[in-house]
Structure 1
């Protein structure tokens, strides 16, 4: 058995969903969840926005932040190739798309990343996935 560190490093714990149909855009993509570092960066941006809401730009910034999460998650079907290799371009494009479609993708990415579960649910899920009944 390898070290605990190596087990953590090699664990494939971020979800993926293949062949996600987006009829509004006439495409099918693979959607990958994101690692904790991307979610922490997103949360940090949201916290900063709370302090600047009085300046009138908070709603667009939140939408752009969601667009960033989505741009980092969309992949060419059957590959690990990002749809938006230029992140700034992806954010620009996605920020101008229908909010309902963007929100649906954002919710899917949250789910694939485990961001939509509370701590107790995450512990239960981890216990169910542990080898030999260990937790």
Structure 2
């Protein structure tokens, strides 16, 4: 496993699944941005990454992410991942449904100096 792919695994296991947001301070660059999220207009860096995790966890307190595939080329790593969880809190404009859901996503992550600095994500939610 390459260093960049290893960083993503550490972020998913430590931050998203492990509830340890401080891992992002080391692995996410100060100018990190995600291109599919309105909140990215307000903040950058590890704080943005940790805010996204917190917001997602508020909507899906029992969320669990699984990296299904990782493909790397140059400074970019593409992931296909699955998130499962129960929709118990608000998620953007969506009120809680109490339903168990599965989110499937493909994302491209760009790295610089061994830190994650940019993400593009396309996802679909099913229940």
Which is higher, the Rg of structure 1 or of structure 2? 1
TM range (shorter): under 0.3
Structure with higher helix content:
1
- TM normalised by structure 1 equals 0.24
The TM-score with structure 2 as length reference comes to 0.25
